[in-house]
Structure 1
Amino acid sequence: MHNPSTPDTSPTRHLGSWALIAAVVAVTVAAFGYVGGWLAPQRLTPKRLVDQLQDNAGTFAGYRRNHAKGVCMTGYFDSNGHAQPYSVAQIFTAGRTPLVGRFAIPGGNPYAPDGSVPIRSMALRFTQANGQQWRTGMNSMPVFPVAAPQAFFAQLQAQQPDPTTGKPDPAKVAAFFAAHPETAAFRAWAKTAKPSASFATESYWSLNAFVFVDAHGTRQPVRWRMVPMATDGGGDAGKAGDADYLAADLAERLTRGPLRWQLQITLANAGDPTNDATKAWPDDRRTIDAGTLVIDATQAQESGPCRDINYDPLVLPHGIEASDDPLLPARSAAYADSYLRRTSEEAHLPGTVAPQPEKQP
C-alpha cells in the first residue's frame, strides 16, 4: 500500500503529470495561435490589415504602408505647466522637450499628388529628460470613420481598386457605408473638406482618447489637438499641376521663422465615450492650453531623423495611458508590422544604409 508520506514514483503517476503539463502547453499554444490568427484564418491580424493596405495602394519597398508620403521635421515643445495637475508626465512640467516628427498624407503611395486627399497628418516623438518617450499620431479631421478595427478592415476591402478600372467599385463603397451608420459624422465632414495648401495651417486631432494620471493616481480621460498659429494660405491646394507642393511650402515658411501650434487638451466628463473615435465630445468640455509646439527645421524623409521611427501611439510615458479604445492596440500592432516590412526592405535596397533598430524607451 502506498505511503502518503513518500513520493509516488510509479509510471502511472508520471504519465498523469506529463499529461497535465502537455494539456497546459496545448491550451497555451492554442491561445497564442488564436491571438496570432494561426488557428483562425478569418481572424483579423496585423498581417491581414497591412496586406489589405498593400492591396489597395500597391507595395513600395522601404516605405510605410500608410501615410507613405511625408517629410521629417524637428523642434520642441514648450510646456507652460497648465497640464501638470492632471498628469505626472515630465513633458508637462514647465520647460522644453525636444521632438522628432513627421508630416504626411494618407495612403500607401509615396508618389501620390498632395492634393489627392483632404487629410494631413502630424506624428511626433517627444523624448523627456528622464528618457521616457511620448509618441503620438494625429490627423486633420475631428472624427475617425469607424470605431472598430474590423470595420476599418471592411472599409479597406470595400475601397480596394477594381483591377479593370483602377478605382474602387462605387457599389461596394456605398454598401459599406450603408452597413456602417457610425461613419455619418466623418462623411459629413468629408463633404466639405478640401486639400489644404500647407501642413502649417492645419489642426491635428488625436482622435483616440487617452488617460492622464496625476500624482495621486487620479485618472482623467482626455483627447488633444494641435491648433496652428499660422492661418494664411489654407484654402487652395497649391499651384496648379504641382503634385509636391506641401514639402516645398513647409521649407519656404521655415526660412521666415519657426512654425507653432498650441497643444489643447480636452478633459472628458463622466459618460463621454472613450472607446469610440467616431464620436466627438461636446464643445463645452473644459480645454487646457498645455503649451506651444515649435517646428524649426525640416528634412526629406529618405535621409531625415524620422525615417526609422515607428510612431506607435502606445509608446507612452508615465502619466499617460491608453484608454479602452479598440483602435489603439490595432494601430500599434499594424504599425509594428509595417515597420518590420519596410525596414527589412530598406536593408536590401542598393545604395541605402540599413536602418538602425529603435531603442525602446
Structure 2
Amino acid sequence: MYSFSCPRCDQLVFFENTECLRCGQALGFGPDQLTMVSFVEGGGPRHCANQALAACNWLVDTASGGPSQLCRSCQLTRTRPADGDLAALSAFADAESAKRRVVFQLLDLHLPLTSWADRPGGLGYDLLSSNGTRVVTGHLDGIVTIDLAESDDPHREQIRQEMGEPYRTMLGHLRHETGHYYWSVLVEQVGRLDEFRALFGDEQADYGAALTRHYNEGPPAGWADRHVSAYATMHPWEDWAETFAHYLHIRDTLQTAAAFGMRIDVPDIPLSAEPAVQVDHEPFESILADWLPLTYALNAVNRSMGRDDLYPFVLSPSVVEKLTWVHQTVAEPVPQPAG
C-alpha cells in the first residue's frame, strides 16, 4: 500500500480516510488514479453508493459510473446481506474494507480484472452471513464466496487454533480465494499448464478425494519442505492459491514499508537498501532479499510487545521457486479476456 497525502495540504492520510484531519478537505479514493483525491459535492466524481452501508470511501467517475452508482470494488460484490440484518451488515462492511485492499492491489499490479456482471466467469464476490444457514468459503467459476463470520475476531481465532494455522485473516481469505480465480486467468487461459504441473502437481487429481484425505489424515510429513502452508498440501489448486496469496502478502507489505521509508540494517545480512515500491520488473530474488530482513525486524518488534511473530513462516527453496514462478506469471503481460 502506498503512503497517501492530502491533495490540498500534503498531510499524511490513509487508505480509509474520508477527510484530511489537518485542513478538513473532503477526500475519496480514486481507483483510476490509485490515489486519494479531493471530493467536491456536486462536481466531478461522486461517492460510491455504499459509502454509508460499507464505509466505502471510493469514488465513482461521473462519466463512467453505471446506474448502480457503485465504485469499481463494490461492483464486484454480487450478493450481500439483507438491509435488515444489522449484525451481518457490520461484518459485511469489514469484509468490503478488506476487499478494497485486494482490488487496489490487483489494479496496481495491472492484473486483468473483469467483473462477473460483464461476462460469465468474471470475478465476483458473494459475502454471506452463516448465521442460521451454512456458508462455505470458496471459489467457483469466478465467484468467491466468503463467510462473514470470519470478520469476527474470536470466531476466527477459535478456528485458527482448531486448524493449527499460524495465520488467518479476512484479507488472507480474500487473497486466497481470489487466487483461485487468477489460476484460470494466469495459468489455464494462457497455456501455462505444463509449467504449473511441474511445480505444483496435476490439478486434474480428484479434488473431493484430496479434500477428504486432507481432513482425515492431515498434511504429509515434511510438508514444509515443499509448501508454504499445511493447507497448500491438499491439492495443486490450493497450493497455487496459498502461494498466490502469500505473494500478495509480500508485495503489499514491502510496498508499505518502502512508502514509509523503512530501512532495515540487519548485521551480516546484505540489503539492497530500501525495499523498492515498484517491483514489477525486479527479479524475485531481489524482492526476497528485501523481504527476509524486514520480516526479522517485524517479528522482533512484535516480540518486544509480547506478541507472536507477525510473520510466522519459513520459506523453503521449493516454496521460493513457486513464489518466483507466481511472480513471473503476474509480471508478464497476459491477454485481456473478451468482454
- Highest relative contact order (Cα 8 Å, sep 6+), 1 or 2? 1
Higher helix share: 2
The TM-score range, normalised by the shorter chain, is under 0.3
* TM-score, scaled to structure 2: 0.24
> Which structure: larger Rg?
1
